[in-house]
Every structure is written in structure tokens, then in C-alpha cells.
């Protein structure tokens, strides 16, 4: 098994570790996090150093990394860490929990996590550094761009488009052929029945952008 370092401790990190343990494909050497958390344990894996030590571990021969910081409506830290780690030269696996159902025709980018019980149907495209969380359903021909978080229990019907850096909240439903722009947040439990522009915050049933 190849060595792998995780970047960011917390709840999402626990989920990723659990999936990695079931996959049996990587040896997790430890977690990099903030200084005050060094020495703590997350699901049996130790926080071994600060994230500023990323370059040092790469020089030691660790070539695989995975960003395990979650993103609840704000993916900026995930994006920053991903870009920094990629610049150093790390490779990013795609982590798919063994309980997920993923079509052989789906295309999934590097550094993306597919959580427990998710269903990714035929001809779906998912970009890099995404979180497709527990129990999500992504139906045929949908496209999710980079750095998105599709939160637990969410359903995207056929041919939905989600722009980069966007967040779709827990238990939301997006009907077929809908487009959601980039840098947009959809609140939990929303029912999206019409297109939502980029750089919006929207919620409700039917989902509407918040006027500011």
C-alpha cells in the first residue's frame, strides 16, 4: 500500500479515515492540522504535525495526500489547501467508500470523496476536490464542477449542472435539467425547481435567492 497523508482533522476527516480503512488501498501515515491539535487522535490516526510541514513530508517520500477539511457553505479553506498541496507536487487519489454505487461510465476527478451509500449514475461527471457526502443520489448526465460539496441526503435529478465552489445543503432536492451557478450556497432542505445564478445564497421550497 502507498503512503498517504491527510490534511485537516475533524468530523469529515473521521469519515474519510473510515472509508480508507475499508478500502485497504493506502497506508495513512498521519494527519496534518493546526499546532494546537498536534498529538491528538482521529479515528485511531495521529495528528503528527502542522499543515505547514506538507513540503517536508513530500521531501521524505510521501507522494499522496488528501484534503480532509470539510466545507459547510464555505469551501475556501479546502480550495486553498488543495491548491497548495498540488503545487508542492502531491498526487490526490479519488476515495470512494465501498458501500457507494458508482457507474462505470461516471468520471470522477482527483481528490474527490464519495461517501457511504451514495449513488452515482451513468455518465455523471464530478470535478476535482469535491465532497459527495453520505447517501447522496447524483442521477444520469449530471455535471458537478470542482470544489463542490453535495451534503448528505441530497438528490440531484438527471442532467443537473452545479458550478465550481458551490454547496448544496443537506436533504436538498434539485429537479432535472436545473443549473446552479458557481460560488453559490443552497440551504438545507431546499427544493430547487428553477436555475440559480452564480454567487447567490438561496433556500426554501421552492428555492429562491436571498435578496441583499
Q: How many of the other CB atoms lie within 10 Å of CB of 126?
A: 24
Sequence-ordered list of residues with C-beta below 8 angstroms from that of 127, at least 6 positions apart, any chain: 109, 112, 144, 145, 146, 147, 148, 164
Q: Are 203 and 191 in contact (CB under 8 A)?
A: no
Torsion angle, alpha carbons of 29, 34, 40, 43, to 10: -60
Q: Active site includes 12? A: no
Q: How many of the other CB atoms lie within 10 Å of CB of 199?
A: 13
Kindly give the pairing relationship between strand 208-209 and strand 201-203: antiparallel
Sequence-ordered list of residues with C-beta below 8 angstroms from that of 12, at least 6 positions apart, any chain: 68, 69, 70, 113, 131
Q: Which of 12, 140, 149, 167 is catalytic?
A: 140
For residue 78, give the DSSP letter: H
User: What are the φ/ψ torsions at residue 33 (nearest 5 degrees)?
Assistant: -150, -160
Catalytic residues: 140
Amino acid at each position: 500500500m502507498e503512503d498517504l497523508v491527510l490534511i485537516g482533522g475533524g468530523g469529515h476527516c473521521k469519515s474519510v479515515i473510515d472509508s480508507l480503512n475499508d478500502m485497504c488501498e493506502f497506508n495513512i501515515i498521519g494527519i496534518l492540522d493546526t499546532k494546537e491539535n498536534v498529538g491528538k487522535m482521529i479515528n485511531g490516526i495521529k495528528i503528527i504535525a502542522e499543515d505547514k510541514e506538507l513540503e517536508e513530508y513530500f521531501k521524505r517520500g510521501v507522494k499522496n495526500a488528501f484534503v480532509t477539511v470539510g466545507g459547510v457553505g464555505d469551501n475556501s479553506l479546502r480550495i486553498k489547501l488543495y491548491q497548495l498541496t498540488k503545487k508542492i507536487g502531491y498526487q490526490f487519489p479519488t476515495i470512494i467508500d465501498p458501500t457507494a454505487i458508482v457507474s462505470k461510465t461516471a468520471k470522477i476527478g482527483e481528490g474527490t470523496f464519495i461517501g457511504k451509500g451514495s449513488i452515482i449514475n451513468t455518465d455523471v461527471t464530478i470535478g476535482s476536490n469535491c465532497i459527495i457526502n453520505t447517501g447522496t443520489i447524483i442521477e444520469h448526465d449530471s455535471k458537478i464542477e470542482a470544489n463542490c460539496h453535495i451534503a448528505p441526503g441530497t438528490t440531484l435529478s438527471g442532467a443537473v449542472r452545479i458550478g465550481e465552489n458551490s454547496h448544496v445543503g443537506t436533504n436538498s432536492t434539485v429537479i432535472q435539467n436545473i443549473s446552479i451557478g458557481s460560488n453559490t450556497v443552497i440551504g438545507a432542505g431546499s427544493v430547487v425547481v428553477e436555475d440559480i445564478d452564480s454567487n447567490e445564497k438561496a433556500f426554501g421550497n421552492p428555492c429562491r435567492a436571498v435578496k441583499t
